[in-house]
Amino acid sequence: MLKTDYSPLLESFQFASGISLKNRVVMAPMTNFSSNEDGTVSGPELDYYIRRSKGAGMVITACVYVSRGGKGFAGEFGADRDELIPSLRQLAEAIKGEGAKAVLQIFHGGRQCPPAQLPDGQPVSASNVPSELPGGGHGPVPRALTDEEIEGIIADFGAATRRAIEAGFDGVEIHGANGYLLQQFFSPHSNTREDRWGGDVQKRLAFPLAVLRAVKSAVNEHASSPFLVGYRFSPEEPETPGITMAESFVLIDALKEEGLDYLHASLQELWSLPRRGTEDSRPRIEQIVDRAGSGLPVIGVGSLYSADDALKGLTSGIRLVALGRPLLIEPDWVQKVAEGRADEIRTELDTAAQSTLVIPDPLWGALTHTPGWIPVKS
C-alpha cells in the first residue's frame, strides 16, 4: 500500500516580512484558565507550552487582556501593564527555546467578560446589547463605551504590542473573532451606535481598523526586526441581524488594504458551509482564501485531528494549518508526521494521561467536564 506523502505539511513558510517558519503547522490560540491571579504566566502553563512548542512552526498563545476591564476568563494572563513584561518574556523564551515562533494573541472580551472577573463587575461593549446565549436567554447587559474609553482601549492594544515586542515575541495576533470586543463593534447585532463608531458596515469597521493601526504604529516605533501582525476573525454570526459572509468580505478587503502579515479564520469545522450573504455554495474557507488573494496568507483551523485532515485542509488554499484541540490530545503531532508515524497520532483524549500530556489542572478540568468540546477516548 502506498504511504501518504505528508511533506506539504512539513515545508517551510516565509511571511512577506521575512519571518520564516520551519513547517506549515501552527498551534492555535487556546484559553487554558491556568494563569496566576495577578495576570502572570504560571509554571504549569509554561510547561504546557514547552510540551507543545517542539513540533509546530509557530505557536499563538492564549489571548491576553490589553485592559483590565477586558479580562474574559478566570486564569487569563495579562499584557495590560509593564510589570507583566518579565512574565511575558518567560513565555516567549519558553516557546522560542523549543524552536517555534511565538505570537501573542491580544484581546478585549467586551460584553463576553464575566462580571466576576472585572474590577467594577460591569462588562462594556459597543452598545448596551447583551449577547444571545447558545442555550437561550441572554448574557449580562453591557454598558456602552464612551468615545474617550474607546480611544483608551485602542491605545491599550498599541501598548500591549509594545510589551510583546519588549518581551521578545515574534508577533501579535489581534483577536477580532469569537464574539469578543472587536467583533462586537463590527457586528450589526451588538453595535447599534450612531456616532463615528457605528452605523453602516463601513462605519462599523472604524474600531477594528483603529486597533490595527495602533498595533502597526507600535511595531513601527518599537520593533527593530521583523514582527508579525495577524488578525483573527469569525466569518459569520448566527444572530439576526448579524455578520454575513458579504460583510466578512468587506472586513477582509479593509484589512488587506491596511496591510497584514496573515489572516486567521476562526472556524469550528474548517469545511463548514456559509449561512448567508453569498450565492457561492463552496465552503467558507475557500471563499475567504479567494477574497484574501495571493498576497495575504490565510491560516485555517477547525477539527483537523489527523494528518490526513490537515493535509486535505491545505487543498482549501490556506497556507498554514492551525491545530488547537489536536495538540491537546497529541502534543507530538508534528514529530509523528515527520518521523513517518502519522498513523500513530492520537485523535481522542486519553483521560488517564494528564501528566504525560502536560495539561494544567484548570484546563484538564474544563476538558473532562465539558461534553462535546473534545473527542474523548471511551
138-156 tens-digit pLDDT: 999 999 999 999 999 999 9
Q: Look at residue 153 in the predicted model and tell me its pLDDT.
A: 98
Mean pLDDT throughout 155-178? 98
CATH number at residue 147: 3.20.20.70
Question: CB burial class (10 A; 0-12, 13-18, 19+) of residue 354?
Answer: middle
Active site residues: 180
List, in order, residues 6 or more apart from 62 with CB less than 8 Å away: 29, 30, 31, 32, 76, 77, 105
Question: All 3 cell numbers of residue 319?
Answer: 497556507
Residue 363 lies in a domain: no
| Tens-digit pLDDT profile for residues 343-378 | 999 999 999 999 999 999 999 999 999 999 999 998
Q: Look at residue 323 in the predicted model and tell me its pLDDT.
A: 98
Q: Cis (ω within 30 of 0) for the bond into 241?
A: yes
143-144 vs 262-265, strand pairing mode:
unpaired
| Tens-digit pLDDT profile for residues 118-142 | 999 999 999 999 999 988 999 999 9
Q: How far is CA 261 from CA 52, 173, 222, 252, 268, in A?
A: 23, 10, 17, 13, 23
Residue 372 lies in a domain: no
With H, G, I as helix, E, B as strand and everything else as coil, classify residue 84.
Answer: helix
pTM attached to this predicted model? 0.98
Residue 75 lies in a domain: yes
Q: Which domain holds residue 227?
A: 7-343
DSSP secondary structure string for all residues of 139-184: -PPPEEPPHHHHHHHHHHHHHHHHHHHHHT-SEEEEEE-TTSHHHH
| Tens-digit pLDDT profile for residues 233-251 | 999 999 999 999 999 999 9
Residue 11 lies in a domain: yes
Residue 364 lies in a domain: no
The mean predicted confidence, pLDDT, of the chain is 97
Place 1 in a pLDDT band, splitting at 50, 70 and 90. Answer: low
DSSP 268: S
| Tens-digit pLDDT profile for residues 25-41 | 999 999 999 999 999 99
Q: Look at residue 307 in the predicted model and tell me its pLDDT.
A: 98
Nearest C-alpha neighbor of 325 from the set 265, 376, 255? 376
Residue 308 lies in a domain: yes
How far apart (Å, rounded) are the C-alpha atoms in residues 300 and 247?
A: 19
Our count of domains for the chain comes to: 1
| Tens-digit pLDDT profile for residues 175-212 | 999 999 999 999 999 999 999 999 999 999 999 999 99
Residue 360 lies in a domain: no
Q: Look at residue 2 in the predicted model and tell me its pLDDT.
A: 73
pLDDT beyond 70 at 172? yes
Residue 352 lies in a domain: no
Mean pLDDT throughout 275-292? 97
